[in-house]
Amino acid sequence: MAGYVPHTDEEIDAMLAFVGVASLDELYGAVPGALRLAGGLDLAPGLSEPDVLAAVSGLAGRNRAAELVCFAGAGAYDHEIPAATRALAGRSEFVTAYTPYQPEVSQGVLQALFEYQTLLCRLSGMEISNASLYDGANACVEAANLAVAATGRQQLWVSQGLHPHWRQTLATFAAGTGHEMVEAPLADGTTRWPADGEPAAVIVQSPNFLGCLEDLHGARHAADAAGALMVVARDPVASGLLRTPGELGADVVVGEGQPFGIPLSYGGPYLGLFTTRQSLVRRLPGRLVGETVDTEGRRAYVTTLRAREQDIRREKASSNVCTNQTLMAVAAAIQLSWLGTAGLRELAVRCARGTRYCREALLAIDGVEPAAPAPVLREFAVRTPVPPTALVERLADEGFLAGVAVDEGFEGTDYQGSLLVAVTERRTRAEIDAFAAAFEKAVR
Amino acid sequence: MTTSAERRASALSASGGRASSAPLLGRDEEPTVFDLSRPGRRAHSFRTTALPEWEADELVPSEHLRPEPVELAEVSERDLVAHFTRLSHRQYSVDLGAYPLGSCTMKYNPKVCDDVAALAGLARSHPAAPALLVQGWLELLVGLEDALCRITGMAAATLQPAAGAAGELTGLLLMRAWHEAQGQQRRRVIIPDSAHGTNPASVTLGGFEVATVPSDERGCVDLAALRSTLGPDVAGIMLTNPNTLGLFEEDITEIAAAVHQVGGLLYYDGANLNAILGVTRPGDMGFDIVHMNLHKTFATPHGGGGPGAGPVAVSERLVPYLPGPRPVRRPDGQFDWETPPRSIGRVHGWHGNALVLARAYAFILANGGDGLRRVADCAVLNANWLRRRLSATYDVPFDRPSMHEFVASTTSLRRQHGLRAVDVAKRLLEEGFHAPTVYFPLIVDEALMIEPTETESLQTLEALAEAFERIAGEAATAGGLEAAHAAPRTTPVSRVDEARAARQLIPTWDQRPASE
């Protein structure tokens, strides 16, 4: 057994004597005898560290997906993570710190979060960013709750182009808050909003799940006509090329920050992005870092507007978030600074180039058809002569993770049964050519 | 007052858990990355792809294309590394020293778990990959769920919730779904007055109303008051056991019977699970729903405020309602995803904080059943040793054997010398320790909630106790209180003006006043 408890037997005896009990068992005098676990936990005995690593390595080795050339996306992308980001985000001072409740010894994390908030506001075109939420789906839930609280309305208009898992997560939490969800369907790859109703928010993702640009002016008009807030879900990499949602009138911008320095990690831990307008700052969920000074007038950072939060406001708090994803926010701040002004632009351009090249190569194959209009960033949907789940299995044998089948959340639509393919800056022409060749064989 | 020679001697006698007297470099401000930025400087480099070099305006319709790139920081890789390394020197952490934050269980995070999380087979798996291609991940998740159920005495679990509060809300939605399936609309959820703030906030988001039950003079749930609060509109009760005072709810069997009697469910807030590993199980106490904070009990690093993981385990009757999809082992031995028949739905974009789950799995493998019991034993022993030791200097309002933590108070020290809990906290920072949790639970005046955890040695506890005693002793001396009010002086910044931060909000570098 690996040992992380430092006590020697002699020390335990001496400590027991000081406490005034005869044995370790006696420490649990308050636990009724009938509740005591007889015979200990039904778990295997502890392993040495090398044995632990061998056991988990064995499991890790059975994840064939990790070895494939990745064309899967759907909200989780195979971007480059440079050595500098890994080294800095892996520093144990950041990794093993607690929430910065004592600002005098937490300036490292607090300043990194302040820089993160600044970067996020620039990417989204908004004025306020919180210090992170669990993931994109949960950020979207918090945006819906904010909109409901701000408008006093219960209905949400949710675009079908919003990630289906995010829609499902919204629906799960709506069972508690009582929100009514109205799904706005896609036609030609973009959202058709209802003509009337009293929504608290219109929630739209752009580029949407199928990779298509949405008409955010149209969404803003729909929101204005209905007196609602506009919540935009935005892949932050898109800001390398596209106008910010803030410029286009968003009230809240949410997103998934995984593309910035966070490994695919089988889906977590990721990073929930949440930015909004200054006028909504008192409804902001989660932590917010502000700049201030110490008693000697030196610049210092601290979590602020704390009266919003659950530990102070308790049942009146608009969010229950406590632990969030600080380390991921720090990683994103590092990665964005590694990219820099020109690098973010180049990252987005490189994704778009690979996407266009790959889409053209796949559409040149007999029987492969576009499932939605032309994409703008790094993802597109195609219809294939072979069902997408079978295609993904076949192409795995050729060394490719071919994409993600469009199914759940698109039942009964033209998009169901198509394959969503993503191309990041890591995919080379040789890889894409080989993929297209294997694809052609697999659909024959 | 101790002499400097004595201080040096005590510092030398302290093992790992005490940071040296100047652990953090730099009394100078660290510029922001934006201050360091110089136009044209760069750190990035990309893979050679040999793709056609289409320009942005050939790729994006012009009305959508932003004319100028978003302005980020422009720094060299060398500047970037120096900046974030210097920031890390301005940050306390478990790897640096003891972190006796009550209810946070800031134990040592084994490094082997870092190696586990870095395994390419785990870190490079795409979350939408078909089950066939991620059999190792699914086996790990099923194995973790099984272990967590054995530890808590429950039937099945969801691993999706990303933190404790997410687990709480998931549990409350399970409670709601269960009552609705019984054809009942129940309105109230009972919470003790010593509960964490996340509990009442989660209750509201779960669509319930909070009913608070007071603690009795022993610091436990007042059973008579609870009984008078119970009724047919009670959906359930949320309890932390041991509670936030570090005391085991001795009447838990009676509480469970009374709540079940009116058709309510019992929710176990697992914030303090560390105290009972291998000793007793929430399932045996009568709980129906249990959340665990893997970043506390199972030693996954807290990351400066996340990521955590908050799996929720349930008793047999609630299994059909669990969030889906769930990882399962099929009869043929293959692993797959399955959505329970009456699932409340997804609570996470994917499968939860998977790499955090993998770290916790490794921690459980390393400790095993026997090791986890030793975790609880030494956590409880450490807390009781420190409680006994400090009770000579500080008030300990509920001074009887505690579990993994205890609550001290400066009520008497404040009355006699003006010393407040916050002063003790700030002085401890100077002493090379992190502060305990202060002013919580709310039911104790000038509270210092102290949780040493099992990974601190006796020598660290002695050094910590001496620091506490020195602080109390100094307050009685001339100028002692002023020194406490001036603390901390050896940290990267001194006391921070929190009021100003709220009054003159500066939430980003771009919104700093022009004078700066």
**SS3 assignment for B433-452:** CCCCEECCCCCCCCEEEECC
Distance of alpha carbon A182 from its chain centroid, rounded? 23
Chain A segment 366-405 residues within 8 A of B by beta carbon are 376, 389, 392-393, 396, 401, 404
Bridge-based pairing of strands A155-159 and A128-129 is unpaired
Q: Does B7 map to a domain?
A: no
Q: How many CB atoms lie within 10 A of CB A413?
A: 15
Helices marked H in B89-185: 111-118, 120-123, 135-152, 164-181
CA distance A401 to A399: 7
Give chain A's domains with CATH numbers: 65-81+340-443 (3.90.1150.10), 83-333 (3.40.640.10)
Maximal CA-CA distance, chain A = 82
Among residues B386, B371, B393, the alpha carbon closest in space to that of B459 is found at: B386
A200: helix, strand or coil:
strand
The letter for the amino acid at B337 is W
Q: Does B408 map to a domain?
A: yes
Q: What is the DSSP letter of B208?
A: -
Q: Are residues B380 and B342 in the same domain?
A: no
Give Cβ neighbours of residue B181 (< 8 Å, ≥ 6 apart): B321, B342
Q: Give the minimum alpha-carbon distance from B282 to chain A in angstroms, rounded to a whole number.
A: 9
List the beta bridge partners of residue B291.
B269, B312
Q: Are residues B123 and B209 in the same domain?
A: yes
Q: Band the pLDDT of A317: cuts 50, 70, 90.
A: confident
Task: Provide the edge-to-edge strand list for the sheet that holds A229-233.
Answer: A128-129, A272-276, A252-256, A229-233, A199-205, A155-159, A180-184
pLDDT > 90: percent of chain A: 93
Q: Give the minimum alpha-carbon distance from B373 to chain A in angstroms, rounded to a whole number.
A: 8
Whether residue A234 lies within 8 A of chain B, CB to CB, comes out as no
Q: Are residues B143 and B185 in the same domain?
A: yes
CA distance A241 to A97: 36
Tokens of A325: 């994803």
Q: What is the DSSP letter of B53?
A: -
Tokens of A284: 């902001």
Q: Does B152 map to a domain?
A: yes
Give Cβ neighbours of residue A196 (< 8 Å, ≥ 6 apart): A226
Q: Are residues B359 and B393 in the same domain?
A: no
Q: Nearest chain B Cα to A66, which residue?
A: B125
* Structural domain containing residue B262: 114-366
Q: Nearest chain A Cα to B176, which residue?
A: A176
Is the C-alpha dihedral spanning A15, A17, A18, A20 positive or negative? Answer: positive
Whether residue B59 lies within 8 A of chain A, CB to CB, comes out as yes
CA distance A359 to A382: 8
Whether residue A165 lies within 8 A of chain B, CB to CB, comes out as yes
Report the CATH number at residue B435. Answer: 3.90.1150.10
Are residues A310 and B198, on separate chains, in Cβ contact within 8 Å? yes
**Chain B residues in contact with A6 (beta carbon < 8 A):** 15-16, 455-458
CA distance B6 to A97: 30
Report the CATH number at residue B247. Answer: 3.40.640.10
CA distance A336 to B73: 8
Tokens of A324: 């969030």
Q: What is the pLDDT of residue A85?
A: 98
CA distance A299 to A294: 7
CA distance A224 to A201: 10
Q: What is the DSSP letter of B163?
A: S
CA distance B446 to B448: 7
Strands in A76-233 per DSSP E? 128-129, 155-159, 180-184, 186-187, 190-191, 199-205, 229-233
Q: How many CB atoms lie within 10 A of CB A444?
A: 10
Distance of alpha carbon A148 from its chain centroid, rounded? 22
Backbone angles phi, psi at A18, to 5 degrees: -65, -40
Chain A segment 177-216 residues within 8 A of B by beta carbon are 177-178, 213
Q: Give the minimum alpha-carbon distance from B258 to chain A in angstroms, rounded to a whole number.
A: 17
- The verdict on ipTM greater than 0.95 is yes
B95: helix, strand or coil:
coil
The letter for the amino acid at A373 is P
Q: What angle do helix axes B354-390 and A9-19 make, rounded to 10 degrees?
A: 50
Whether residue B148 lies within 8 A of chain A, CB to CB, comes out as no
Q: Are residues B315 and B458 in the same domain?
A: no
Q: Does B156 map to a domain?
A: yes
Give Cβ neighbours of residue B158 (< 8 Å, ≥ 6 apart): B170, B311, B312, B322, B323, B326, B347, B352
**Chain B residues in contact with A293 (beta carbon < 8 A):** 496-497, 500
Distance of alpha carbon B474 from its chain centroid, rounded? 32
Q: How many CB pairs under 8 A join A and B?
A: 738
CA distance B438 to A21: 29
Selected residue of B72, B176, B347, B438 to mutate for chain A interface (largest A Cβ count, 10 A): B72
Tokens of B464: 């910590």
Q: Are residues B434 and B386 in the same domain?
A: yes
CA distance B305 to B295: 10
pLDDT in tens, chain B (516 residues): 445 555 544 444 455 667 754 545 556 789 999 999 999 999 999 999 999 999 999 999 988 999 999 999 999 999 999 999 999 999 999 999 999 999 999 999 999 999 999 999 999 999 999 999 999 999 999 999 999 999 999 999 999 999 999 999 999 999 999 999 999 999 999 999 989 889 999 999 999 999 999 999 999 999 999 999 999 999 999 999 999 999 999 999 999 999 999 999 999 999 999 999 999 999 999 999 999 999 999 999 999 999 999 999 999 999 999 999 999 999 999 999 999 999 999 999 999 999 999 999 999 999 999 999 999 999 999 999 999 999 999 999 998 899 999 999 999 999 999 999 999 999 999 999 999 999 999 899 999 999 999 999 999 999 999 999 999 999 999 999 999 999 999 899 999 999 999 999 999 999 999 865
Last residue of a domain, one of B307, B336, B366: B366
Count of CA atoms in the C-beta half-sphere (13 A) of B367:
30
Q: What is the pLDDT of residue A376?
A: 79
CA distance A305 to B118: 36
**Chain B residues in contact with A111 (beta carbon < 8 A):** 30, 32, 87, 90
Selected residue of B63, B87, B293, B356 to mutate for chain A interface (largest A Cβ count, 10 A): B87
Q: Are residues B342 and B301 in the same domain?
A: yes
| Cα three-residue angle A79-A82-A84, rounded to 5 degrees | 150
B203: helix, strand or coil:
helix
Write the pLDDT tens digit of every residue in A410-435: 999 999 999 999 999 999 999 999 99
Q: How many CB atoms lie within 10 A of CB B316?
A: 11
Q: How many CB atoms lie within 10 A of CB B396?
A: 20
A376: helix, strand or coil:
coil
Whether residue B78 lies within 8 A of chain A, CB to CB, comes out as no
Q: Are residues B352 and B388 in the same domain?
A: no
Q: Looking up tokens 């919540």, which residue turns up?
A: A231
Selected residue of A294, A320, A324, A350 to mutate for chain B interface (largest B Cβ count, 10 A): A320
Last residue of a domain, one of B320, B350, B366: B366
Q: Are residues B198 and B298 in the same domain?
A: yes
Tally the residues of chain B.
Answer: 516
Q: Does B58 map to a domain?
A: no
Write the pLDDT tens digit of every residue in A228-268: 999 999 999 999 999 999 999 999 999 999 999 999 999 99
Whether residue B88 lies within 8 A of chain A, CB to CB, comes out as yes
Number of domains in chain B: 2
Last residue of a domain, one of B311, B333, B366: B366
Q: Are residues B408 and B388 in the same domain?
A: yes
**Contact criterion met (CB below 8 Å) for B280 and B256:** no
Distance of alpha carbon A78 from its chain centroid, rounded? 14
Backbone angles phi, psi at A401, to 5 degrees: -95, 105
Q: What is the pLDDT of residue B12?
A: 47
Among residues A46, A5, A3, the alpha carbon closest in space to that of B454 is found at: A5
Q: Does B70 map to a domain?
A: no
Q: Are residues B253 and B342 in the same domain?
A: yes
Strands in B357-461 per DSSP E? 406-409, 437-438, 447-450
The letter for the amino acid at B369 is G
Question: Burial letters for B23-51: b for 16+ Cβ neighbours within 10 Å, e otherwise?
Answer: bbeeeebbebbbebbeeebbbbeeeebeb
List the beta bridge partners of residue B234.
B188
Q: What is the mean pLDDT of residues A394-410?
A: 97
Whether residue B177 lies within 8 A of chain A, CB to CB, comes out as yes
CA distance A67 to A434: 16
Are residues A135 and B134, on separate chains, in Cβ contact within 8 Å? no
Give Cβ neighbours of residue A346 (< 8 Å, ≥ 6 apart): A240, B44, B46
Backbone angles phi, psi at B47, to 5 degrees: -65, 145
Q: How far apart are the first and last CA of chain B?
A: 42
**Chain A residues in contact with B55 (beta carbon < 8 A):** 349
CA distance A330 to B304: 9
Whether residue A98 lies within 8 A of chain B, CB to CB, comes out as yes
Q: Are residues B452 and B319 in the same domain?
A: no
CA distance B311 to B270: 10
List the beta bridge partners of residue B438.
B448
Q: Nearest chain B Cα to A11, which residue?
A: B458
Q: Band the pLDDT of A309: cuts 50, 70, 90.
A: confident
- Cα–Cα distances in Å, from B172 out to A95, A204, B168, B286? 30, 28, 6, 17
Q: Does B419 map to a domain?
A: yes
Q: Does B19 map to a domain?
A: no
Q: How many CB atoms lie within 10 A of CB B495?
A: 20
**Contact criterion met (CB below 8 Å) for A244 and A105:** no
CA distance A381 to B515: 51
CA distance A211 to A370: 12
Give Cβ neighbours of residue A247 (< 8 Å, ≥ 6 apart): A125
Of the partner residues A5, A41, A244, the one whose CB lies closest to the CB of residue B369: A41
CA distance B457 to A10: 12
Among residues B193, B317, B172, the alpha carbon closest in space to that of B235 is found at: B172
Whether residue A304 lies within 8 A of chain B, CB to CB, comes out as yes
